[in-house]
Structure formats: structure tokens, C-alpha cells
Chains A and B, each alone.
Chain A
């Protein structure tokens, strides 16, 4: 509440006077106190490392088939077992991290790049522009997230790139709505009025004075949206609309595994566990970040 009444600059000054601590330092300190959020962040970083170093740590080529090792259960040779055409499941889970993390990163970046400007314009200008933009956003929100992504993937053609575009487009309204709401809540703050009174042009007020002050909620939403995007990519790949075989993706691995549930249950276990762990960690981190950025706490 304090931040809304005083404006972040004055709050920052107060905090610095009191504790000698900058806002981002305070956020980091509060975040570090939340054990689950730290664990979540550590797990996410672990998955990022796995994806980046996949060529170095993968025990086998994720595409190499072997007719001598078809549907073998986990063993010393193949820790996670092998799939229906003898590919190593561990290698595919490791390489599959790339598709998932890429989907999380690219989709959310697209949604931010489209949604934030819409929200800024809509919230700042108000009036007819706001009315039209918000009805458009309502229309996009009226189509369920995955259904919109499926429809877009259908018309664009199935591929990982198109799945990421589809997920990004369907997440755009969330960011547009959030940004607009935040702009409306700070628009009439005194520091904005002051910036206007000294003759700043509109674009400068929006970009230099409003935007920096609404970043915290956007950051939290982006983390949670990345978790949702990773599930969405896995879902589209599971339906056959994301990463195309033989390239590895956790969702498409589960799609195949579904046909071998009784013969080779390990095929379904590992990719699912990977999705669940990564998404849970992102959600834990996002929740922790929200608490740490909340000026009412501490």
C-alpha cells in the first residue's frame, strides 16, 4: 500500500534511509528467506544447465535407434530405459528440456512484447482506444487458451515454432489486461502528474515513469506464464501439434508412451516427471517472487 500512496521513488528513498538497502536488494533478501522459492529457482537453473549442456551430458544420441535395445527397462546401460525403437529415454529427456525451456522463454517473450504495449496504450489513453482494445482482448480471452493454441497451430501447421507463436498469442491478453490495470492504478499518482506538469511528452511518461513502476507484477506474471507455456507446449506436442518426431520433446514422448503403458511404463514416467518438476519449480519460484516483491510484506 505504501508504494501506491508515496510512489516508488520516495519509498525507495525511505527504504534506503532506513535500512540502507535498494529495492532489488530487499527483494533478493526476502526471496532468499523463502526456502521453497530458492529450491524452485535452483531446480529451474538445473534444467537450464541440462538444456544448455545437453550435447556434453547426454549419454547417447537422442535420435539414434537400436533394434537390439527396443523397450528395455532401466538398467546400468540405459538409466531411464529405451523406447519403442531403441532410443535412450534419458538422452531424449535431456534434449527434450530444450524444447520445453525454449517454449517457455519464447512464448512469454512474445506475449510480453505484444501484451505490454497494448496494455500501456489502452490504460494510458483510455477512452475509445481503450474500449476497442479491451473488447479485442475480451474476444481473445473468450476462446479457451489451449483451444486457441490448437486452432492457431492447426492453421499455421504443426511445428515447435508455430506452437510457440500460438502459445504466445494466446497468452497476450493476460499481459495486456495486467499492464492496463497497473497503468490505471499508477496513472494518477503524484509523480506521474509531476512528470506531466514539467512538460514530459506522453511516450516519455509512459516509458520512463510508468513502465518501470509496473515491472514487478509483470515479472511475477511472466514466471507463472512460463510455467503455463511449458505445460501448453507439452500439451500441444502430446497432441502432435508441437515438436515433430523424431526430434525429442517431453510432450511427444508421452504421446508415444501412451501406447505402451503396459509394456514399457518407464517410457511415460520420466518425461512426465520432468514436466511436472520443472513446472512445479517455476510456480514455487513465481509464488515466492510475488511475496518478495509485495511492499506490504517483509
Chain B
């Protein structure tokens, strides 16, 4: 167990190294002089000289990389050229907004996806199963920004039930906060629900043919009890760990969802930064998402081993 943990943790070191090289390397894609690209075409020569010095552009590449990594390790992601504030502060400010959206979306995904997966597995190869599989395919093929626009048409423009855009902090008004997030959370959760359904279905099908489920049936337990207490509890193990891997899809989707519903989160931050050529912000956001993903993956792997007694030895 300890050996597994140590090996697993050791594995993230090279991954983190390559991630940092990739993200640092993005700068090198800028055509021409990076200082000029950062400052804009008609910037003051003194500004360009300042940027060149600030980002050590006169130093060799490995030195610049080392300086950059050292800064990142101290939590210094540089400064936003546009807003003139540390990137770290901007990220910390937007994180709770996207976090709430992502959390609600995951809730939507679980509430829709897991029961649908159970139903499809229990009724395998019936019309219920095919129906559920089609719904999942629908969820995967639906571009979430289009679904968002359609929901705004229906619930905001036609029916007038929900606000079309904007965000209210939960500290201001929890009710307003939830009202503004219902549609975005559904839009974002929809595609993940489809993936959860597929995972749950295949895990349940596998578990349902296991010996202990047959034993439970033979004991004369009710169908509901067999499914929920014996099969589902074991089927959920892979579903939970695979669910953690959906984090990337959740964040990618959040970028689009936030754009459709004008929610001031992480996604809006990176998109605005792209248009303002605020490269430090882009790098900071990418770095944070990658770091979060690597950590989540690590926890998912550890949780998988902890939950599954056969892997604990």
C-alpha cells in the first residue's frame, strides 16, 4: 500500500515538469518579439524595454524557464497586463464562482446519470435500455452552448421564468444565486450525465452477474434491495473514480457555459484574457486547471485503492 502510494505520487513529478514546460513553451509560440506582442503594436519603447526586463526576455531560455518556475512555486503567476493585478488574485476571485457552477453541474449529472444507468442495466437489451442509450448519445452530441441558447429562448424569453444571464453571489441572495445557476448547471451537467450513465450502466451490468448478487437473490431479497444494497454499492466504485476524470470536461464546458450565460468565472477570465492578449492570465489559468486535474486524478486513484479491499494488500 505504502509502496503503491509512493510510486503513484512519484509519477506526478515528471508529469508536473512536462506540464510546466508545455505552459511555459506557449510563450514561444508568439510570433516575433514577445515583449512587442504583449505590449501591443504601438506601445511605448520604454514599456517594451520594461517588459523585456520584467520577463527576463534578454536571458537564455532555460534561465527564463527556471525563473518562471521559481515564481510559480512561490505562487507568483505574474501580473495581468490588462487589469494590473496579480494573476493569482484574479484566479482566487473567480474560482468560487466556477466551483459552485461545477459542483451544481456534477450534482445534476449524478442525479440524472446514475439512476438512468441503473435502469438501463437492470432492463438490459429492452426498449428502456435503448432509450437511455439514445438519451446519452443525445447528451454527448449536443453542443452545450447551443443547448444554453435554446433554454434561454424557452425559459427566459418565452416563459420569463428564469434570468437569461448574470450572476448573484450566494452571500447577497441565495435564492437569486440559485435561480441564475439552474440553467447553466443543467447545460453543463447534461453532457457529463451522459457519460455517468454509460459508466453506471456498464459497471452495473458487470456487478449484476457477480456471485454475491446471485446469492443475495437466492436468499430471497427483494429486487430493490438486491439492486440498491448489493449491486449499486459495488458498481459505484468505478463510477466515482471515473467521475473524477470528468473534471476536465467539466472545466472545458464551464468556459462555454459561462460565455453563454455571462457568468464571471474561470472560463470568462481565460476568454477575456485571450482577447486582451493577457498571456500571463492565460498561462495561470491553464496551470491551475492542469494542477487541479493531476491532483484529482491522484486522489481518485488513491480512493480507488482504499475502497477496493482487493487492491489494498
Residues of A within 8 A of B (CB): 132, 135-136, 138-140, 142-148, 150-158, 227, 231, 234-235, 238-241, 254, 257-258, 261-262, 265, 268, 272, 275-276, 279-280, 283-284, 287
Q: Given that A150-B274, A261-B153 are contacting pairs, would A142 and B15 also be in contact in the complex, using a CB cutoff of 8 Å?
A: yes
Q: Nearest Cβ in chain B — how far from A101, in angstroms?
A: 16
B279 touches A148 (CB 8 A): no
Residue-wise interface mask of B (128-171) relative to A, using a CB-CB cutoff of 8 A (1 in contact, 0 not):
00000000011011110110011011001100000010000000
Most buried by A among B30, B252, B277, B279: B252
Residues from chain A with Cβ under 8 Å of B21 in the complex: 139
How large, as a class, is the contact surface on chain B?
Answer: 35 or more
Given contacts A147-B270, A152-B29, contact A275 B146 (CB under 8 A): yes
The chain B residue sitting closest to A239, CB to CB, is B271
Nearest A residue to B271, CB-CB: A239
Q: Are A261 and B164 in contact (CB under 8 A)?
A: yes
Point out the residues of chain A lying under 8 angstroms from B247, CB to CB: 144
B45 CB-CB contact with A under 8 Å: no
Q: Is the CB of A148 within 8 A of B14?
A: no
Which residues of chain B in 292-313 are interfacial with respect to chain A, using CB atoms and an 8 Å cutoff? Answer: 293-294, 297
Q: Give B84 Cβ to nearest chain A Cβ, in Å.
A: 20
Residues of A within 8 A of B255 (CB): 146-147, 150, 239
Q: Digitize B246-258: 1 where CB-to-A-CB distance is under 8 Å, 0 elsewhere.
A: 0111011101100
Interface residue SS majority, chain B: helix
**Which B residues lie within 8 Å of A145 (CB)?**
248-249, 252
The minimal Cβ–Cβ distance linking A13 to chain B, given in whole angstroms, is: 33
Interface string of B15-54 (1 = CB under 8 A from A): 1111101110011011100000000000000000000000
- With A135-B14, A142-B15 already in contact, the answer to whether A152 and B141 are too (CB < 8 A) is no
Summed over the interface, the residue pairs from A and B with CB atoms below 8 Å come to a total of 145
Q: Which residues of B contact A (CB under 8 A)?
A: 11, 14-19, 21-23, 26-27, 29-31, 137-138, 140-143, 145-146, 149-150, 152-153, 156-157, 164, 247-249, 251-253, 255-256, 259-260, 270-271, 273-275, 277, 279, 282-283, 285-286, 289-290, 293-294, 297
CB distance A254 to B141 under 8 Å? no
CA of A139 to CA of B277, assembled, Å: 24
Question: Complex formed: what's the CA distance from A262 to B149 in Å?
Answer: 10
Q: For A275, give the chain B residue with the smallest CB separation.
A: B143
How many angstroms between the C-alpha atoms of A238 and B164 in the bound complex? 18
Residues of chain A within 8 A of B27, CB atoms compared: 155
Interface pair A139/B18, CB less than 8 Å apart: yes
In the assembled complex, 14 residue pairs joining A and B whose CB atoms fall closer than 8 Å, in A order, are A143-B22, A144-B293, A146-B252, A150-B282, A151-B286, A152-B26, A227-B141, A239-B259, A261-B153, A268-B149, A280-B138, A283-B141, A284-B137, A287-B137
Contacts of B11 in A (CB 8 A): 135, 138
Which of A144, A157, A238, A276 has the most chain B CB within a 10 Å cutoff?
Answer: A144
Separation of A227 and B140 alpha carbons in the complex (Å): 10
Q: Are B141 and A139 in contact (CB under 8 A)?
A: no
Once the chains bind, are A154 and B282 in contact (CB under 8 Å)?
yes
